[in-house]
Every structure is written in structure tokens, then in C-alpha cells.
Structure 1
Amino acid sequence: MSSFQERIKGKKKSLTTTEDKIIVQLQKHEKPFLLSMNELALLSEVSEPSVVRLYKKLGYNSYQELKVALAQELAEMKPPSLEEIDIMPGDAATIIFEKIGEQFSQAVAMTKEKMNLNHMESAVKKIMDSERLYFFGQGLSGTIAEDGAHKFMRLGGMTLSVKDPHYQAIYASHMNEKDMVIALSHSGETIDIINVCEMAKNNGAFVLIITSNDKVTLAELADCLLVTQAHETTRQADAMISRLVQLALMDTLYARVVAESGGEGKTNINRSRLAVTRMKK
């Protein structure tokens, strides 16, 4: 059976302005299934017969059937609270695994809400245009930087992961407009990363920042900014979920670049795979 949203999409071309007003109220109300037909009509500034025409057009036999469908769909969409998915001392391994999955799903949904498509496409284009690609990160973010470099080096060209702040500073001091830095910092306030990104930017490099907030110091240096979102629960202060969502964002960038690289990209990836395969028994 089609959902409420699917039914709206299916009838989108035939919906009237009056019906659109009703749909807007149903979508914006926190608990639309509690509204009487009269209340919905008043909020939408339409007549009750207009509400009847809408639910019939969407394939519901009655207004009550529409409300029940909305209640069920909203219950399925509601994410679990942080308390429900917090890892407890007595949790079995299977429960912990399931809770981590729920936390990751929430983080992906939150990051998608913050995702700027124009920034993503700008990052993809710049990655493809740059002659040298540097991944900067420290601590856990340095591990994500290494993973990102490992992916992108398969496409050929010069790709380098740098975790040591001294090495980062040396590379940044020699950069120019042909270089691109992808810098990761969940906090966005790591002093060494801020300093080397500022140096790289001043020397002409394009700086892509991946961080958790567009208000942090590091974000101010970004030529292109991508923001990840994650709630760490009370028993997980070690950035477990934020690390996973950073990996997912990096994979998304890589997949887009591969898609845009066409035949040449596939050829280079296959060449890389073959090189590694030859090292196996």
C-alpha cells in the first residue's frame, strides 16, 4: 500500500491550490492524526468538502482512514531517543551492535539534512581538477584522512595522507593553486590543523573542510565546507559515531568522483586493483 507521501507525489499534477493548502497543514502539524476534519479545514482556510475531495483523490475511503495511515507512518519514521539507544552496562553484544546501527542511522539522516549539494559538487569538481591531493587530520580524524587517501589514490595522480603536524606544515608551505587539501576535524578547533590549513590557503591551495559545525574556527578557512552531524551518547564520548559518518561522507565523495571520471577512472581503479592482486598468493 502506498504511503501518504507517495500518494501525494502520484497525484501532484492534479492537485488544486486548495488541496495543496490542506497538505501543507498535514505535513507541518506535529500530530496531524489528532486533527478533526473541521480543525484541519480551519487551519487550511478551506471548506470541509475540500478535505473530503482530497482524501478521496488520494485513495482513502474516509478521513479516519487517512488519519490512521498518518499515525502509523509517523510512528515508523520517528527515530528512537538517545536514551533508548544509549549503550548500557548489561547490554549483550547483539544489542550493542543494533544500538550502534541505530545511532549511525540517526547520524546519517542528520548529516543529510545539513548536506549542501552545491558544496558537494564543488568538492567533486575540484578533486578532479587538482594535480595534488592532500588529506590532513590528527588523532581519529587522521585515521579517516588515511582511509580517504587510500580510496582516492586508486584513481591515479598524487594523493597523500599526512597526520604529523610538522609534515603537514612543510607540505603546506610549498603548495600552490594546483593543490587541494581535504582537512578533517570533528571539533574544528584543533590548533595545528587550523594553522596548516591557513598556510595552505595563503599559498593558493583549495581547502575543503569536513567538520561538525559551520561556526567553528576551522570552517572560516574553508573554500568548501562539508558538515557532519552525530550525537554521541553519554557512554560513548570517544567519537565513535562521528567517525563512522565521516567515513560515509568520504565514501560519498569518492563514489561521485568515480562516477564523474568515466572510463579513465575505471581503468585506473582496475590498474590499482591488479597491482594489489599481484601481491597476493
Structure 2
Amino acid sequence: MHSFQERIMNKKKSLTMTEHKIISQLQEHDKPFLLSMNELAILSEVSEPSVVRLYKKLGYNSYQELKVALAQELAEMKPPSPEAIDIVSDDKADAVFHKFGEQFYQAVSLTKEQMNIESIELAIEQIIKSKRLYFFGQGLSGTVAEDGAHKFMRLGGMTLSVKDPHYQAIYASHMNDHDVVIGISHSGETIDTINVCEMAKNNGAFVIVITSSQKATLAQVADCLIVTQAHETKRQADAMVSRLIQLAIMDTLYTRVASKSGSTGKNNINRSRLAVTRMKK
């Protein structure tokens, strides 16, 4: 069953200005499921029949069904407060593990809200068409880059993860419009990553950036920007949740590319699995 937001996206092209006004009220109100149809109409400055037309267009049988769906979805999406998931010194292992899970769930929800699906789908098409795929990152982001390269090499083709900034610069200097670069930096201010992504773009490569802010310097280089959101606690200096959400993004890209690569991608993945299986007892 489609969520309220998914129904809106499916009907996006046919929605009227009046219907957009109603949707805005439902999305901005703290508790839209408590609004009567009359109250919603007044807040939206539309007529009640307009509300009826909207919920029918979205596939709901009644206004009550729409309100129940909203209540359920908001309950599922409501993230715990930062204080509730912050790890403290008295937490036992089970509490720490549970809070890690809550933090990751929150990060996934927040990141999903930031996604530009059209831009990401364009990036996926570019990856599929590319002759060479590079992953650039430093520190922990470099580890994520290595993980991404390890996944994508199963699909065949030339896939490289490079940590050394000198090597990155050399590769970037020889790139062209057949290349795709995935640059990863949580802060978006890592100088070496910014420099090599700029160089790659200037030479014609398509640049995908995974970072935590649209305003980051690295974000300005991106042809496709994927913004991750994560709440870090005072006791996580190693930015664990940020790293996990980067890995989740990488898995998402890989899975989407694999599914669009058809039989060729499937055969290459099977060949890769067989090659590794032969190395085991």
C-alpha cells in the first residue's frame, strides 16, 4: 500500500493549485489527523468539495481513511528525541546496541526526506554508461569508498577506489566524459577530496557527491548531490552513524545499478560470486 507521500508523487502532474494548498496544510500541521474536513478546508482556504476531490484522487475511500493513514504514518516516522538516543556512561551493551539502531533508523528517515530521486536516477544511468568508475574519500570516508568499489566491481568493468590524494589527482587529470567519480566526505570540506573532484569535473567526468550538507564546498562540485543526515552523540567521535548511512547510500546505488543492468549485470555478479567461492574450502 502506498504512503501518503508516495500517492502525492504518483499524482504530482495532475494536482491542481487548490489541491497543493490542501496538501501543504496536511504536511505542515503538527497533527493533521485531528483536523475535521471543515477545519482543513478553512485552513487551506478552499471548499470542502475540494478536499473530497483530493482524497479520492489520492485513492482514499473517505476522509476518515486519509486521517487514519496519516496518523499511522506519522507515528512510524516520528523519530526519538536526541536525548533519548544519546549514549551515556551507564548504558549496558544491550542499551548501546538499541540506541545505535534508533540513531540509524532516524538517519535513514532524515536522509530519505533529502533525496532528489530524479538526480539520483540520472547518476545511476551515468554509472551504467561509464567506462570507468572511481571512488574517492579520505579517512573513514575512504573506507566507505573502498566498500563501494568492492560492491561495484562485481558488475564488471573498471572500478577503482583510491585513498592516496596524489594517486587520485593523477587519475583525475586523465579523466573524460566516459568517467564517473563518487566523492565521499561527511563534512564536505576535505581539501584533497574537493580538489580531485573539481579536477575530474573539469576534465569531463560526471561527479556524484555524498556529504552531509548542501552548503558544503564539495557539494558545489556535484553533478548529483546525495545529502546524508545523522545525529551523532557526544560519545561517538568516530561518526559511526554517519558512516553507516554512507554505506546504506552506497548499497542503494549498487542495488539500483545491478537491477537496471539486466542479464549482463546478473551474469557478471554470478561470475564474481563463483570466483570468490572457488577460494573457499
TM-score (norm 1): 0.81
Whether 1:58 and 2:62 are equivalent positions in the alignment is: yes
Corresponding residue SS for 1:181: strand
Deviation readout 1:1-35 (Å, 9 max, x if unpaired): x99959x99xx9xxxx9999877645542134666
User: Identity of paired residues, percent?
Assistant: 74
RMSD: 3.5
Corresponding position of 2:131: 131
- The number of aligned residues is 270
In the TM superposition, what are the counterparts of 1:190-205 in structure 2 within 5 Å?
190-205=190-205
Amino acid at match of 1:204: G
Corresponding residue SS for 2:261: helix
In the TM superposition, what are the counterparts of 1:1-281 in structure 2 within 5 Å?
25-32=25-32, 42-43=42-43, 58=62, 74-281=74-281
Label 1:4 to 1:46 Cα distance change in 2 as closer, same or farther (>3 A).
farther
Q: Report how far residue 133 of structure 1 moved.
A: 0.9
Aligned counterparts of 1:47 and 1:218: Cα–Cα separation in 2: 47
Q: Which stretch shifts more, 75-84 or 111-120? A: 75-84
Q: Which runs of 5+ in 1 are unaligned?
A: none
Corresponding residue SS for 1:213: coil
Label 1:70 to 1:265 Cα distance change in 2 as closer, same or farther (>3 A).
closer
Q: Which runs of 5+ in 2 are unaligned?
A: 12-16, 56-60
Aligned counterparts of 2:244 and 2:220: Cα–Cα separation in 1: 24
Amino acid at match of 2:88: M
Corresponding residue SS for 2:252: helix
Kept in 2: contact 1:33–1:71 (CA 8 A): yes
Q: Report how far residue 43 of structure 1 moved.
A: 3.2
Amino acid at match of 1:127: I
Deviation readout 1:87-134 (Å, 9 max, x if unpaired): 111111111111111111111111111111111111111111111111
Aligned counterparts of 1:18 and 1:157: Cα–Cα separation in 2: 50
Moved over 4 A (4+): 2-6, 17-27, 32-42, 44-52, 65-76
